[in-house]
Structure 1
Amino acid sequence: MRVQRLVAALLVALVAGCGPAVAATDDRVPSFRPAPPRPYAVGVRHFVIDPDGSRPLPVTVWYPAEATTPAHATTPATTRVTAAPTGSEAASGPTSDATSSVTSGRATSGPTGSGTTARPDVPVAAGRFPVVVYSHGLHSLPDLHAPLTTRWAAAGFVVVAPTYPRTNLRARDFTRADVRNQPADGWRLIRHLVRLDARPGDPLAGHLAVDRFAAAGHSAGGFTTAGMFTAGHSRRLRAGIVIAGGGLAGSFAGPVAPLLFVHGGADPIVPESVGRAAYARSLGPAAFLGLPGQGHGEYLTPGRPGFAQVLAATTDFLRWTLYDDRRARDRLPADAVLPGVTTLTTRALPDQA
């Protein structure tokens, strides 16, 4: 417990210097092609940005793929994931939480499906797709978040997840304070993807909606996400999801973007009060999905209480902000709330249609 309090204090210290900022007031999302009505198959690929530079950035990409079999005929698959997907924010090292086998069921007719197996390097589905930059926490890796990110990909998003050089599970020179440098890595990744979309011959070329990015992340990745929303940030970044995180210095400035905060009410690593303070400081439309009595990330594991609500709410939020899906916006409150499991607070969300 003493270590957890120290870690919480260190993470809260990252917030120092954050303050309100004046931002643009136009939060409208231009119309886009309709959000997909059914789930896609999911592909996965990997590449490295600046492999010979001072901060090489391995990237995992999950994307909507051309189906080789109908979605409803997906074969159940067993994926081994951790009960706390980010490893640990504790200074003592990775979490000792037991791993569990999660058996994916058949995909449903809805946009998120109920389980997805990503296939390496299969063809990208036809069309352009909005992009979500997903940031892992301390002592973690992108693959540990696959139960969430693959489902977002099945719902029609390209999800790109960098492995941060000094905070990942296998970092040789692990440095907690390097979280401050990760928002710049996130923007470096966005610029790379804009160039990649125009690169002849790349499998993703012509498939990225490079004017429609969201940022999302858990714990230190949530702080990283907030840190991408600083004064002068590009309007390409249209939305953010901060899970079990808070704000960095300079967060929540620049062009207004809708934000969704997700936090366990009994989080011993990043107290819920940190997330609620960030929610209160953010500008423009925002929502706070609370999980009373829950800790730092167990609700990100399929089958655990709250996972279905977190998945549905985050998917609705991304469909609304990146596809201009007003029906997803309107159903978000009902999808997010399960009495006794989750609560939802909203501020300045547009009137429901």
Structure 2
Amino acid sequence: MPVLAQPQTIAIKPITVPTDGRDVELQVKVTAPVQGAGLPVIVFSHGNAWSMDGYEPLADRWAAAGFVVVQPTHLDSRRFGIGFDDPRFGTIWRVRIADLHGVLDHLGHVMEQAGLTARVDPSRVGLVGHSWGAQTVGALLGARVLDDAGDPGEDFSREDIKAGVLIAATGTGDSLTPFASEHLPFMRPDYRTMRTPALVIAGEKDRSTMSTRGPDWFLDAYHLSPAPKRLMAVPDGEHTLGGIAGEAVAETTDTDPARVTLVADAVSAYLFDALDVDTHAWSAFRVAAETERRASLRRKD
């Protein structure tokens, strides 16, 4: 069977986003299909220490599917060298949230700099994040951070965001390890107010060193938030779900290109549906994924 050519994509970087009170410029990378108009947008928040240059397997596949993907570099990126002992580290979680607000507030500027203004539908924007990025995205979907007394903090939600996807999202903070409690006290999300529709993706074998719980910790965002929510538990998936951050990166413990494709396509299908681009996309994806799962089991027998 001949291999079908993937649609061509382009990437433009760096694009500087106007900000106030940030130590370094907020820069983004934009990946888009070469052709098409009325394109929906994904704004993606990376995991700890990464940057706009990571997660290429996801960004490229989303762009090929018909999305414009915007990837900011947050202050925790390893290229800035801000460690736990840096006085700025304690507020990076807030800066991350401000980064996403800044990108959304200046999305027109970003699209203009990328030469995509006439090809984008600014009314169809979805947020996606992995790991720390998932908690960041969750804040814009309505989740809050609990303080030491268990009271919910500031509301960072946006009414203009129709849907989001949380990949390997932090669970509740009642089971943090002593290290996490000391250095990452903001890992105490309260999902009871996360009302924006979302897809939660979790690996069935994802075990965090930050929590005393097992893989079920990564299901909290689904079980504790108001409907409508959808859940995809990835069989045998660990924290990087086959290598979504990049090919052969050191932190991937469960290398599997097929798993990366599954995650990427789940996000595309869910957002096509949730953003009213194709309301049959999610149901079609589920049927195709189940068919492939059964075929894979037969191949193993």
CA distance in structure 2 between the partners assigned to 1:252 and 1:186 by the alignment: 21
Q: Which moved more, 1:182-191 or 1:291-300?
A: 291-300
CA distance in structure 2 between the partners assigned to 1:126 and 1:149 by the alignment: 17
Q: 1:253 aligns with which of 177, 193, 212?
A: 193
- 1:78-97 equivalence runs, <5 A: none
Secondary structure at 1:159's aligned position in 2?
Answer: strand
CA distance in structure 2 between the partners assigned to 1:306 and 1:138 by the alignment: 21
What is the aligned partner in structure 1 of residue 98 from structure 2? 184
Q: 2:59 aligns with which of 149, 159, 162?
A: 149
The one-letter amino acid of 1:280's match is H
- The 3 A distance-change label for structure 1 pair 246 and 257 is same
The one-letter amino acid of 1:216's match is V
CA distance in structure 2 between the partners assigned to 1:129 and 1:145 by the alignment: 20
What is the aligned partner in structure 2 of residue 20 from structure 1? none
CA deviation map 1:318-342 (0-9, x unaligned): 2112243122122132234425989
CA distance in structure 2 between the partners assigned to 1:291 and 1:232 by the alignment: 29
Indicate conservation of the 8 Å contact 2:269/2:282, yes or no.
yes
What is the aligned partner in structure 2 of residue 41 from structure 1? 8
CA deviation map 1:20-57 (0-9, x unaligned): xxxxxxxxxxxxxxxxxx96321111212237852421
Indicate conservation of the 8 Å contact 1:62/1:158, yes or no.
yes
What is the aligned partner in structure 2 of residue 83 from structure 1? none
Indicate conservation of the 8 Å contact 2:202/2:232, yes or no.
yes
Give the drift of 1:202: 5.9
Give the drift of 1:195: 4.5
Give the drift of 1:298: 3.9
Q: 1:320 aligns with which of 248, 254, 273?
A: 273
2:171 counterpart of 1:239: no
What is the aligned partner in structure 2 of residue 96 from structure 1? none
CA distance in structure 2 between the partners assigned to 1:279 and 1:195 by the alignment: 34
Question: Root-mean-square deviation (CA), in Å?
Answer: 2.9
- The 3 A distance-change label for structure 1 pair 258 and 52 is closer
CA deviation map 1:274-304 (0-9, x unaligned): 2211111222222211124332114245743
Secondary structure at 2:118's aligned position in 1?
Answer: coil
Give the drift of 1:61: 0.6
What is the aligned partner in structure 1 of residue 107 from structure 2? 193
- The 3 A distance-change label for structure 1 pair 184 and 308 is same
- The 3 A distance-change label for structure 1 pair 234 and 341 is farther
2:203 counterpart of 1:264: yes
CA deviation map 1:41-85 (0-9, x unaligned): 2111121223785242110110111xxxxxxxxxxxxxxxxxxxx
What is the aligned partner in structure 1 of residue 288 from structure 2? 335
Q: 1:225 aligns with which of 134, 137, 142?
A: 137
Indicate conservation of the 8 Å contact 1:305/1:341, yes or no.
no
What is the aligned partner in structure 2 of residue 307 from structure 1? 260
Q: Which moved more, 1:326-335 or 1:175-184?
A: 175-184
CA deviation map 1:211-232 (0-9, x unaligned): 1111111111111111111257
What is the aligned partner in structure 1 of residue 151 from structure 2? none
- The 3 A distance-change label for structure 1 pair 299 and 183 is same
What is the aligned partner in structure 1 of residue 175 from structure 2? none
Give the drift of 1:157: 0.6
CA distance in structure 2 between the partners assigned to 1:191 and 1:252 by the alignment: 26
Q: 2:116 aligns with which of 204, 207, 214?
A: 204
The one-letter amino acid of 1:154's match is A
Give the drift of 1:208: 2.4
What is the aligned partner in structure 1 of residue 78 from structure 2? 169
CA distance in structure 2 between the partners assigned to 1:138 and 1:319 by the alignment: 27
Indicate conservation of the 8 Å contact 2:140/2:156, yes or no.
no
The one-letter amino acid of 2:201's match is V
Give the drift of 1:139: 1.7
Secondary structure at 1:144's aligned position in 2?
Answer: coil
Indicate conservation of the 8 Å contact 2:125/2:162, yes or no.
yes
Give the drift of 1:259: 1.0
What is the aligned partner in structure 1 of residue 253 from structure 2? none
Task: Structure 2: state its 5+ residue gaps.
Answer: 143-154, 172-187, 248-255
Structure number having the greater helix percentage: 2
CA distance in structure 2 between the partners assigned to 1:341 and 1:134 by the alignment: 30
Count of aligned pairs: 242
- The 3 A distance-change label for structure 1 pair 336 and 260 is farther
TM-score, normalised by the number of residues in structure 1: 0.61
2:196 counterpart of 1:284: no
The one-letter amino acid of 2:132's match is A
TM-score, normalised by the number of residues in structure 2: 0.70
CA deviation map 1:159-186 (0-9, x unaligned): 0000002x11212223564224312210
Indicate conservation of the 8 Å contact 1:241/1:260, yes or no.
yes
2:30 counterpart of 1:61: yes
Task: Structure 1: state its 5+ residue gaps.
Answer: 1-37, 66-124, 343-353
Identity of aligned residues (%): 26
